[in-house]
Chains A and B, each alone.
Chain A
Amino acid sequence: MDRQQTSAGTVDEREVAQFSRLAAHWWDQQGPMAPLHKFNPVRLAYVRDRTAAHFARDASRLDSLAGLRVLDIGCGGGILSEPLARLGASLVGADPSENNIAAARHHAAQSGLTIDYRATTAEALAEAGEIFDVVLAMEVVEHVADLSLFINVAAKMVKPRGLMFVATINRTLKSFALAIVGAEYILRWLPRGTHQWEKFVTPNELEIALERAGLHIIDETGVIYNLLGDRWQISSDMDVNYMVVAEKA
């Protein structure tokens, strides 16, 4: 397959273009990003609860993440960055797409939030020597060109004793049925071509990449869609969507 890649190697240009077209629609909850808005509470709760527990914070407070420096890699329009900033985190949102960053900045200003959005890549940030208490790679690794290269770069930016979160989709028959056929073709939750099944990542591949990058897995969990309640929830089933949190030694 002939795929253009940036010199740094982990950004897949074709996919950047795909999301850029959607940038203006990030914040329309009934729009193309509706599935992500639906998914947001469950991943936010996971990030908040695990981070609060790790840094001895009270998760029920409205400033539960105050003072923590957090990097959101592939922040898109800021759907994850904004709520974390509202909880007091000092947020850097990075996305290679200028359109996404423009949309994210515009919306943060509307929301009265200060977020440091940068149209840049994880590699560039790592090269500049940036470090964070928490690094987030949520719904990102299934879009990168080289998993272990990406994880190494991201891990470099985690402070000692800091955390890295990864949320992604497993590469199983079930995920092909649900995440590709179901979500893109039947339910039309996502535009066709959003995901490529062969780029999905198994928990085992992810664990190996994280451990090799000097991170120690603290917890992993599945996420499933509850059809009756029309919401996503934590589950032991990691066959499709799952999340992992790891600590830097």
Chain B
Amino acid sequence: MALDTMAQIKTDVLIVGGGFAGLALAVALRKALGPSFAVTLADPALVANHAADERASAIVASVRRLFDTIGVWGEVAGRAQPIVDMVVTDSRLTDAVRPAFLSFAGDVEPGEPFAHMIENRYLIEALAAMAKAEGITLQSSAVGKISHELERVHAELRNGLLVSARLLVAADGARSAIRAQAGIATHGWNYGQSAIVLNVGHERDHGGRAEEHFLPAGPFAILPLKGRRSSIVWTESTSDAERIVALPHDEFHAELEQRFKLHLGEITVLGARRVHPLGFFVARSFIAERIALVGDAAHVIHPIAGQGLNMGLKDVAALAEVIVEAARLGLDPGATAVLERYQRWRRFDTMTMGIATDGLNRLFSNHSDILRLARDIGLGLVERVPALKRLFMREAAGLVGEVPRLLRGELL
């Protein structure tokens, strides 16, 4: 369609992608700046039903504070399982007993656990409902061509609408079409590993304990869900993962039980088994002219420490803060200086976390006895030095460094 015949709307910020990051940013901006600052969000999946999606995520304390501050956490708190402690073991598949090398217990602040587990769909539904209630302009459409004109960025929507914005935020996931159009390359690699993800039910209560077993093929994580259920993130080489996930029920169950063990009694597989290839990449830049990348569009890291989604929400907190500050000064939220501040704030943290999770995975996903000795000494040291342990916990909870206000639980 020719540009001049398209119906046009003007907005301050256009967010492409209605996942956690996109929706949370839209709500955060609206809550801080009110309706006179126009926010538009476009995503063809806005009308999709999320009821069948059983995937769950760990929400670290700082990100929970963000959800709380924008008024969403209260809607889902009843569905969220606090993680009250966490046990890390380093073991072979055949070990009968798994000695705990590291255990984390307690809260980041009194009464505030360092993380919660919750099914994605509850959070997405609460965010989408909040976005709607707040009157954010929602477009159930994919975005086509992007162009720049006179201090604005124009996006042609597939539904025939032309959106003219001062800033376009790409929250459209790991295969971001906006990132590709902006010509931003990524660097990273595949691990040759995949994660088998499923939920299980078990006889005994998990007591809010998360377990991470570093098995030679990769980490096997048991993350507690509400009720006698847990979410499993089970890493294998991609070929093994694909073989295992396709096994008949009894054989799959036997493989699962060998790793899960029987400490929670009999286990049953709930719902579907899925397999996700694991990779690591970071966008070479988080910004382009009048464009900012957030969440998976900017980075995908190894899920070993459960930080992927949380990293995306940290992007949101930082970007929301720089946009709000600019808008309240009458400055253009899409100006280079504003976006550079966002990039400086987030890109270093992302690289650090990416490298840390990558190193962690390389350190553990192998059969070397020497590395095993080295990492066990390291973990033993962390276990015995409370200050070090507390620092790791606060780092994992996202409370170290120059923390954006939303992650501290402060209103913008």
Taking Cβ atoms with an 8 Å cutoff, the residues of A that contact B are: 29-30, 37-38, 40-41, 44-45, 48, 59-64, 82-87, 110-111, 229-231
CB pair A83–B331 under 8 Å, yes or no, is yes
Add 7 more A-B contacts to A60-B328, A83-B331, A87-B329 (CB < 8 A).
Answer: A29-B336, A40-B331, A41-B337, A44-B331, A48-B330, A82-B330, A85-B330
Hey, which chain B residues are within 8 Å of A40, CB to CB? 331, 337
* Closest residue on chain B to residue A27 by CB atoms: B151
Q: How far is the CB of A51 from chain B (nearest CB, A)?
A: 12
| B36 interface hit (Cβ, 8 Å) | yes
| B86 interface hit (Cβ, 8 Å) | no
The 22 sampled A-B contact pairs (Cβ below 8 Å) are A29-B335, A37-B335, A37-B336, A40-B331, A41-B326, A44-B330, A48-B328, A60-B328, A62-B36, A62-B327, A64-B328, A82-B330, A83-B329, A83-B331, A87-B329, A87-B330, A110-B150, A110-B151, A111-B151, A229-B344, A230-B344, A231-B341
CB pair B331–A29 under 8 Å, yes or no, is no
* Closest residue on chain A to residue B338 by CB atoms: A41
Residues from 11 to 52 in B contacting A, C-beta threshold 8 Å: 33-34, 36-37
CB pair A38–B329 under 8 Å, yes or no, is no
Hey, which chain A residues are within 8 Å of B326, CB to CB? 41
Hey, which chain A residues are within 8 Å of B34, CB to CB? 62
Taking Cβ atoms with an 8 Å cutoff, the residues of B that contact A are: 33-34, 36-37, 150-151, 325-332, 335-337, 340-341, 344
CA A64 to CA B33, docked complex, whole Å? 12
Hey, which chain A residues are within 8 Å of B328, CB to CB? 48, 59-62, 64
State the total of A-B contacts with C-beta under 8 angstroms: 51
CB pair A48–B150 under 8 Å, yes or no, is no
Cβ 8 A contact of B329, one of A30, A44, A229: A44
CA A82 to CA B330, docked complex, whole Å? 8
| Residue picked from B34, B37, B329, B344, most chain A C-beta under 10 Å | B329
Hey, which chain A residues are within 8 Å of B340, CB to CB? 230
CA A231 to CA B328, docked complex, whole Å? 18
Q: Report, nearest first, the 4 A-B pairs whose CB atoms are least far apart.
A: A83-B330, A86-B330, A87-B330, A29-B336
| Given contacts A29-B335, A29-B337, A45 and B329 within 8 Å (CB-CB) | yes
Cβ 8 A contact of B337, one of A37, A60, A61, A64: A37
Q: How far is the CB of A172 from chain B (nearest CB, A)?
A: 28
Hey, which chain A residues are within 8 Å of B151, CB to CB? 110-111
CB pair A38–B337 under 8 Å, yes or no, is yes
